[in-house]
Structure 1
Amino acid sequence: MSNEVYMKGDITVVANEMKKLVNNKEMSDIKFMIGPNRKPVYAHRCILSTRCDVFRAMFSDQESKSDKNNKEIPFVLSDITPDIFLAVMEYIYTGCVSLTGKIAIDVLGSSIEYGLDELRKLCNQYLVENLSINNACDAMQAAVTYGQDDLRAESMCYIEENTQNVFKSKSFHEMSEEALSVVLQSDRLMMDEPDVIDCVREWATVNSVVMGKSMSEVARKVVYHLRIPLLTPEELHALEEETRKDKLLPVELISFAWKCHALQKGERGNPLTTRRAGTTMRESHKGMDVL
Structure 2
Amino acid sequence: MAFYEDLAEDLKLLYENRKNCDVKIHAGIELEEIYAHSLLLRVRSPYFRGALSQERTKNKDGYFIFKKPTISVSTFEVILKFIYCGIADLRELDCTEIFNVLIAADELGLQKFIIYIQKFLIENRANFLQEDPVRMLRTVIYYEAFDDLKKFCVEAILADPDILFGSNKFLALEENPLIAILKSDDLTMDEIEIWDCVIKWGMAQDPKLKSNVENFKDQDFKALEDRLHNFIPLIRFHDIPMEGFYLGVWPFKKILTEKLVNDILRCYMVPKAKPRYNVYPSRTAPISSTLINTKHLILFASWIDRKPENYTRFGQIPYKFKLLYRASQDGNNTNIFRQRCNNQGATIVVGKIQNSERLTGGYNPLSWNGNNQYKYSTESFIFSIDNCNNPNNYNLGRLTGANDNSAIYDHNSYGPTFGRGNDLRCQFNNCWYYNANTYTSIGLQNQYNITDWEVFKVEKKV
TM range (shorter): 0.7 to 0.9
For 1:109 and 1:68, how far apart are their aligned partners in 2?
Answer: 28
Where do residues 257-268 of structure 1 align in structure 2 (5 Å cutoff)? 257-263=264-270, 264-267=272-275
Q: Corresponding residue for 2:5? A: 9
Q: Give the counterpart of 1:85 among 55, 67, 76.
A: 76
Name the SS of the counterpart of 2:95 in structure 1: coil
The partner residue of 1:161 within 159, 162, 171 is 159
TM-superposed CA distance for 1:102, in Å, is 0.6
- Work out whether 1:105 is the aligned partner of 2:82: no
Which of the two has greater strand per residue?
2
Pick 1 or 2: higher relative contact order, CA cutoff 8 A, min separation 6: 1
- The aligned length equals 269
> What does residue 76 of structure 1 align with?
67
The alpha carbon displacement at 1:52 in A equals 1.3
- Look up the equivalent residue of 2:114 and give its one-letter code: R
1:131 aligns with 2:134: no
Secondary structure of the structure 2 residue equivalent to 1:60 = coil
Matches within 5 A, 1:229-240: 229-240=238-249
1:222–1:58 CA distance, 2 compared to 1 (3 A): same
Q: Which residue of 2 aligns with 1:57?
A: 50
Which amino acid counterpart does residue 47 of structure 1 have in structure 2?
A: L
Cα deviation digits, residues 115-147 of structure 1 (max 9, x gap) = 211111022213323233234454443332122
- Quote the Cα distance in structure 2 between the aligned partners of 1:16 and 1:131: 31
Give, in whole Å, the separation in 2 of the partners of 1:138 and 1:14.
39
Unpaired runs of at least 5, structure 1: 283-291
- What residue number does 1:227 align with? 236
CA contact (8 A) 2:192 2:245 kept: no
Deviation at 1:197, TM superposition (A): 1.9
Whether the aligned pair in 1 keeps the contact of 2:191 and 2:236 (CA below 8 Å) is yes
- SS of residue paired to 1:31: strand
Q: Distance in 1 between matches of 2:136 and 2:251?
A: 32
Q: Does 1:146 align with 2:143?
A: yes
Once the two structures are overlaid, the 10-residue window that deviates more, 6-15 or 178-187, is 6-15
Structure-2 separation of matches of 1:58 and 1:114: 10
User: 1:122 is matched with which residue?
Assistant: 116
CA drift of 1:62 comes to 2.2
Q: State the percentage of identical aligned residues.
A: 21
SS of aligned partner of 1:172: helix
Distance 2:65 2:176 in 1: 38
Partner residue of 1:182 out of 180, 183, 208:
180
The TM-score with structure 1 as length reference comes to 0.74
Q: Give the whole-Å Cα distance in 2 for the aligned partners of 1:85 and 1:170.
A: 34
The answer for the alignment partner of 1:276 in structure 2 is 284
Deviation at 1:33, TM superposition (A): 1.8
Label 1:152 to 1:250 Cα distance change in 2 as closer, same or farther (>3 A).
farther
Of structures 1 and 2, the larger Rg is shown by 2
C-alpha change, 1:278 and 1:237, in structure 2 (3 Å) is farther
* Amino acid across the alignment from 1:276: T
**Match for 2:197: what amino acid?**
C
Provide the C-alpha distance between the structure 2 equivalents of 1:50 and 1:94, rounded to a whole number of angstroms. 13
Q: Take 1:189 and 1:58, find their aligned partners in 2: how far apart are those partners?
A: 44
**Using the alignment, how far apart are the partners of 1:7 and 1:124 within structure 2?**
31
The match for 1:288 is: none
Aligned to 1:193: 191
Greater share of helix: 1
Q: Distance in 2 between matches of 1:72 and 1:15?
A: 21
Q: Which residue of 1 aligns with 2:332?
A: none
Give the TM-score normalised by structure 2: 0.49
Given that residues 187 and 283 in structure 2 are in contact (C-alpha distance below 8 angstroms), is that contact kept between their aligned partners in structure 1?
no
Q: Is the 8 A contact 2:27 2:33 kept in 1?
A: yes
Structure-2 change in CA distance of 1:195 and 1:258 (3 Å): same
Structure 1 residues 225 and 107: alpha-carbon distance in aligned structure 2, compared to 1, 3 A threshold: farther
How far has the Cα of 1:82 moved from its partner?
Answer: 3.6
- What's 2:304 paired with? none
Residue deviations 1:143-196, cap 9 Å, x none? Answer: 321223332322222112322343124553343322211211223322222222
Deviates more, 1:219-228 or 1:260-269: 260-269
**Cα deviation digits, residues 2-27 of structure 1 (max 9, x gap):** xxx44653998678656535xx5x54
- What is the alpha-carbon distance in structure 2 between the residues aligned to residue 78 and residue 239 of structure 1? 48
